[in-house]
Amino acid sequence: MFLKAVDCEGQVKDASFIANILIECIDMVGPQNVVQVVTDNAKNCRAAGTIVEATYGHIFWTPCAVHSLNLIMQKLGTQIDWVKKLYAEGEEIQMFVTNHHMSQAIFRTFSKLELLKVAETRFASHTLVLRRLLKVRDALSSMVINSLWSVWKQSHTERALKVRALILSEKWWDDVEYVLNFTEPIMSMIRYADTDRPCLGEIYDGMDCMVEKIKEVINRKENDPTETFFKVVQKIVVDRWNKMTTPLHLLAFALTPKFYSAEMLATPRRVPPYRDAEVASGYRAAFKKIYQDEETRNIVMREFGQFVSAKNHDVVALNARYGMDADEWWYVHGQGSIYLQPLAIKLNSQVASSSSAERNWSTYSFIHSVKRNRLGAKKAEDLVYVHSNLRLLSHKDPEYSEGVTRNWDLAPECADLDATVAQLCQVSIDEAVMEFERDIASGSGIPFDIGSIDAEFEPLDDRELGLDASDEDEYGI
DSSP string over 226-295: T-HHHHHHHHHHHHHHHHH--HHHHHHHHT-GGGGSHHHHTSTT---GGG-HHHHHHHHHHHHHH--SHH
What pLDDT shows up at residue 336?
A: 85
| Cα gap 203→107, rounded to integer Å | 41
Do 364 and 471 have their domain in common? Answer: yes
Residue 29 lies inside a defined structural domain of this protein: yes
Q: What's the chain's average pLDDT?
A: 84
Please determine, for residue 392, whether its predicted confidence score (pLDDT) is greater than 80.
Answer: yes
Per-residue pLDDT at 36 exceeds 60? yes
From the centroid of its chain, how far is CA 309? 34
Answer yes or no: is 461 within a domain.
yes
| 83, 15: one domain | no
- pLDDT band at residue 342 under the 50/70/90 scheme: very high
Residues 449 and 375 in one domain: yes
Q: 326 in a domain, yes or no?
A: no
Q: Reply yes or no on whether the pLDDT at 166 is more than 80.
A: yes
Q: Output the pLDDT for position 98.
A: 93
The residue out of 37, 63, 89 marking a domain boundary is 63
Long-range pairs for 99-102: beta carbons < 8 A, 24 or more residues apart: 100/154, 102/148, 102/152, 102/154
Over residues 301-312, mean pLDDT: 91
Given a cut of 90, whether residue 467 has pLDDT beyond it is no
89 falls within a domain: yes
> Do residues 85 and 32 both lie within one domain?
no
Please state which of the ranges 256-270, 320-334, 352-366 shows the lowest mean pLDDT: 352-366
Domain end point (choices 165, 185, 205) = 185
Judge if 460 and 377 occupy the same domain. Answer: yes
Give dist(CA 18, CA 47) in Å, integer: 9
Residues 115 and 50 reside in one and the same domain: no
Greatest alpha-carbon pair distance for the chain in Å reads 83
Q: Is residue 387 scored above 90 in pLDDT?
A: no
> Residues 55, 29: one domain?
yes
Cα distance from N-terminal residue to C-terminal residue, the chain: 29
Q: How many whole angstroms separate alpha carbon 465 and alpha carbon 477?
A: 17
Whether 348 maps to a domain, the answer reads no
Whether 459 and 368 share a structural domain = yes
24 and 58 in a common domain: yes
Supply the pLDDT for residue 449: 35
- What kind and span of H or E run contains 28? helix 15-29
Q: Is residue 291 part of a domain?
A: no
| 240 pLDDT above the threshold of 50 | yes
- Could you tell me if 465 and 372 lie in one domain? yes
Asked whether residue 173 falls in the same domain as residue 95, the answer is: yes
**Structural domain for 104, as ranges:** 78-185
Residues 126 and 176 placed together within one structural domain of the fold: yes
Among 156, 185, 214, the domain-final residue is: 185
Crossing angle of helices 101-108 and 81-99, in 10° steps, is: 90
Of the listed ranges 236-245, 435-444, 446-455, the least confidently predicted one is 446-455
Predicted TM-score of the model (pTM): 0.81
Residue 431 domain-assigned (yes or no): yes
Number of independent structural domains in the chain: 3
Percent of the residues in the chain that have a pLDDT greater than 90, as a whole number: 61
> Does residue 224 contact residue 255 with C-beta atoms inside 8 Å?
no
For residue 457, pLDDT over 70 is answered with no
Number of C-beta neighbours around residue 222 at 10 A? 15
For residue 230, is it within any domain?
no
Q: Is the pLDDT of residue 341 over 90?
A: yes
